[in-house]
Chain A
């Protein structure tokens, strides 16, 4: 018997008892649907995270923190005081933020490490308010300029190194009573900040960009240029008596050929009590969680498939029983046991193909429509720029289809072997 005839006959036999086949296929569809949806979800969210990582762009950078801030290992009882560990000086960050800061000497140490080509220490400032041209004052938290590369811009440009510039988030457009982000570019604002003696001063800054909120949270708060940030920092230190030691929340370190030197630089930093992390290190943890969640969900899909495979076994066993005489006749007429086995396992494969194709198509449909609805302009998650919850990954679609067909084939082997073993004489005598 030719393979094409085996396939055609199997297809014909599958549709002989339509209801039974349909019910078996439904079980497979549920599994295929779940798997498609969960893998698409994982792929979609990971794709978004990748985009966020790509948004940070410069992959030659390492973010360096004081190890005390990086690994907040819980200690039994009160931690011992360590004079070497830098603390927030001058109350710049207020009480409770001490520890885990970088000092000038740390920055020098970092500069001394091999392969480090540049160190950009980040100063955190806590301004009091932002005042618009018409006098309205708003509570203000500023993002760090080091995050500027991760900004998703709705209009204008990201605040750079020079110039007294800042960007504002899209939500802040309500201040100007407009929905057009372009309209606020060029507006000037006053930023007020208190120095150590409690006296408020203010500086003028220009709005150069409007940002969308990214998954990382970047873009949700105004972001100053480096010059504005430094200016605010200097203002906040006014009136400090004695030697003010500059302290940094972290440093952005440029490394030559990060891919090759990542480990050596990180080790050198660790020796100095510092912690270096790449963007991938930070985002990787997020992706790990997403992967874990999508694997757990896929596990449910697999359980559904496992149950469905017993449906195939059951359906085909019934079919073999019903067609005992037909099998006997085919064997009497010279069909080999191998071909009988092939015919019945092909029927299982046909059921698998039907179920997987229908399930995958439904899963893709549900995923794409759900994604369009949830992340669309007016959807519940529409505010998050560039968010994708579902992505089509052709490889994993093919993988899912192949997996299901494989499972169907395995499920078909038991009934097929039973059919192949039938003795033609017994089968023909069977009433």
Chain B
């Protein structure tokens, strides 16, 4: 079998000390392979967000190892980790985090700007992604003038613009109504299907989780069950 794109070994995360000690993750070991779609499912407080932060290299585990393409990242310098995040990951957040003062194009090319790409190349890549998501006509609009669905599509565009290997989506439909949720879900799974992008979705939404190939059910900092195969959702 190929080297997993992300793997963890005995991942532990503890917040606080003594009486206020809280074990957010209690020793998780699993793998995510390239091209997989994985849902991390659980109630709030189950540790799913903490797990995503560790997988996305936004946080350091108290104990255990996260490895990216077979390489443990614990020993890397912060600057190198920042660069890895910029190169390999795309992020879609529940609260869009778009800069209201900037145009859609400026917003979605932020990862490229951080990567140090020149302006014309940035804008070219940005327009490509916006066309892919049918947002090209909104490129010059201010981010505040978009509807919720358009905002989330802009976020997806931002996550895709650096051609990431892994796309992390943290409650991507949490702020959207049912109809727009479906459109956003279609886009995400379309990307996974058509471009083979690895999708890691953190959600408490069973319907969204059901569309993933694999579901890690979390409770109190542990993976209680693991389900495989896309579930048919009853209408």
Which residues of chain B are near A329, meaning CB under 8 Å?
97, 110
Query: Roughly how many angstroms separate A123 CA and B161 CA in the complex, as a whole number?
Result: 93
When chains A and B are docked, how far (Å) is the Cα of A333 from the Cα of B59? 13
Beta-carbon contacts under 8 Å, B200-217 to A: none
Contact yes or no, A333 B91, CB < 8 A? yes
CB < 8 Å: which of A16, A326, A332, A336 contacts B79? A336
Give the Cβ gap from A6 to chain B, nearest Cβ, in Å. 9
Nearest chain-B residue to A16 (Cβ)?
B101
- Report chain A residues within 8 Å CB of B56: 332
Q: Do residues B97 and A1 form an inter-chain contact, with CB atoms below 8 A? A: no
Interface size class of B (residues with CB under 8 A): 20 to 34
Q: Are B58 and A335 in contact (CB under 8 A)?
A: no
Q: Which residues of the partner chain A approach B224 to less than 8 Å between Cβ atoms? A: none
A428 an interface residue at 8 Å Cβ cutoff? Answer: yes
Complex Cα–Cα for A425 and B49 (A): 10
Q: What is the total number of residues of chain A having a CB less than 8 Å from a CB of chain B?
A: 23
Q: How far is the CB of A8 from chain B (nearest CB, A)?
A: 9
Closest to B80 in A: A336
Q: Are B113 and A1 in contact (CB under 8 A)?
A: yes
Interface residue? B229 (CB, 8 A): no
Q: A332-B91, A334-B114, A334-B115 are in contact. Are A325 and B58 (CB under 8 A)?
A: no
Interface of A is mostly: helix
Given known contacts A425-B53, A428-B97, is B58 in contact with A332 (CB within 8 Å)?
A: yes
Closest chain-A Cβ to B101's Cβ sits at a distance in Å of 6
Q: Contact at A334–B53, with CB atoms within 8 Å?
A: no
Question: In the complex the two chains form, what is the Cα distance from A329 to B91 in whole Å?
Answer: 10
| B99 surroundings in chain A (CB, below 8 A) | 326
- The CB with the most chain B CB atoms within 10 A, among A2, A5, A325, A334, is that of A334
- For the complex, give the distance between the alpha carbons of A5 and B116 in Å: 8
**CB proximity to B under 8 Å, residues A323-348:** 325-326, 328-339
- Which one, A2, A328, A331, A333, contacts B116 given CB within 8 A? A2
Given the interface pairs A425-B58, A425-B59, the reply to whether A334 lies near B83 with Cβ below 8 Å is yes
| Min C-beta distance of A324 to chain B, whole Å | 11
Interface residues of B (CB under 8 A from A): 53, 56, 58-59, 78-79, 82-87, 91, 93, 97, 99, 101, 110-111, 113-116, 118-119
Which 4 pairs from chain A and chain B are nearest by CB?
A: A334-B86, A334-B85, A336-B82, A329-B97
